Amino acid sequence: MIFSTKQIFLQSQASLVAGQLVEAFDELTLYETERVETIVSQLEIAAGTNVVITNKDGDVLYDPLRIYGYFPLTQYSINSALEEHSMYENDFFFSYFFEGIFSSTAITPVVSRGVPIGAVYFHEDDSIQGSLLLEMQETIRNISVIVAVSSIVLVTLILVSVMRRVSSIMNAVKTVREGEYSYMVDMSGRDELAVLGDEFNSLTERLKETEEVRRRFVADASHELRTPLAAIRLLADSILQNEDIDRETVQEFIGDIGAEAERLTRMTGELMALTKLDSHAPIQLTRVDMKETVEATLRMLRPLAHSRGISLSYDISEGCYIRATDDSVHQVIFNLIENAIKYNQPDGSVFVRLSIADEDKVVFEVKDRGMGVPDEDLPHIFDRFYRVDKARSREAGGSGLGLSIVRDTVRRLGGKVSVRKRQSGGTVFTVMFKRIKDEP
């Protein structure tokens, strides 16, 4: 701003003097010194400015302060202005700030009929503007120091606060790593660390639930395995300790031992299936026709239904293709239909439906008129080792793992499984998968 103001001011003064000289002279010579002084003295020259007028040869015609010979820059600048004018026809101006003084110089050639006949040199040393600049520099320097110190203090406080909160999270991680899954971190605020603290607490809560599920699973599995093992041991001891036992009773006991052994085999197989599902091992999915799997499963379970007096009906649609494996789909369908047959009323019925919904979903339903599920048991029916009627479940040979396998298998295949009560009695299990195109 100062530079621009000085340039406009000094160049206007120099142009004013040059214009008056052009009107009065066709050529500037040493003989016109007095006339030049008279003309300049009649003009309103701003106080504090130094004026030098020369002809085209550099001879000084006006220099009241005798600065032309004192400052070598003056002569060089005027000569440069004359050369610049002859080349570019521009006025010459420069300015600099040094030791608190703002020095500005403007040189304008005196041009008559397109030919330079001399030059007007204006120079000003402005200490007031220089003092203003120094004060501004000092103010900016002070403000910068204050801002820098404040920033350092603020950043230090922020870092201390962040490090304290990070340390709190790290201590929480160490505590949870040592097995204290109930530990929660208290992280207030709405920043990223607060979000991280909430996520950590959520993860800790899930770890706690997982640990509880694991412990309960181990306890339940131990209990379930202990029951058939105790029965086998009791039957075996009865045979060994009773010397007078008849052959028919021995055969009956051995048959019971075989049944318990078969139950153990079935239970361990289901436990292995659950372990495989929990491991999330990669599986190779293929195109599976659910219609074929449902029909094959119905043929396999029809004798069981007939032996229990259960009527088995179905409604199966074409084009029910999904992305899965044959074994996994068979396991889901088999478990649901087998449960519907086993836990049914005498002379009950089971209805199986396979249909397409919304053109992109395959829906598999199993409806029975069995003993049903109480409302309080519905949320837990897919939990491992959970039984609605434990006595009847054991009598039917159930392990409490079938529906858990169904749920985990369906989820792994990207589907959904649900259960609801029928108004007329019994339950309805619904499995939904994403349908793929008929083409392989």
Task: Find all residues with CB under 8 Å of 402, minimum gap 6, and list them.
Answer: 270, 335, 338, 339
pTM reported for the whole predicted model: 0.48
User: CA neighbours within 13 Å on the CB side: how many for 9?
Assistant: 18
Cα-based angle 279, 283, 288 (whole degrees, multiple of 5): 135
Reduced to 3 DSSP states, what percent helix, strand and coil does the chain have, rounded to the nearest 5? 55, 20, 25
- Per-residue pLDDT, 83: 64
- Per-residue pLDDT, 140: 94
Output b/e per residue, 50-74; b: 16+ Cβ within 10 A.
bbbbbbbeeebbbbeeebbeebeeb
Whether the Cβ atoms of residue 400 and residue 385 lie closer than 8 Å to each other? yes
> In tens digits, what is the pLDDT along the chain, a chain of 440 residues?
888 888 888 888 888 888 888 888 888 888 888 888 888 888 878 777 888 888 888 788 888 877 766 555 566 666 666 665 543 345 678 888 888 888 888 888 888 887 888 888 888 888 888 888 888 889 999 999 999 999 999 999 988 888 888 888 888 888 887 777 777 877 777 777 788 888 878 888 877 777 776 776 676 667 566 767 777 887 788 788 777 778 788 888 888 788 778 767 766 766 676 666 565 667 778 888 999 999 998 998 888 888 888 899 999 998 899 988 888 888 889 889 988 888 888 888 999 999 998 888 999 999 988 777 777 777 778 776 666 554 444 444 455 677 888 888 888 888 999 988 877 778 899 999 999 876 55
- Per-residue pLDDT, 202: 83
- Per-residue pLDDT, 362: 93
What Å distances lie between residue 198 and 106, 181, 188, 204, 224, CA to CA?
70, 15, 9, 10, 38
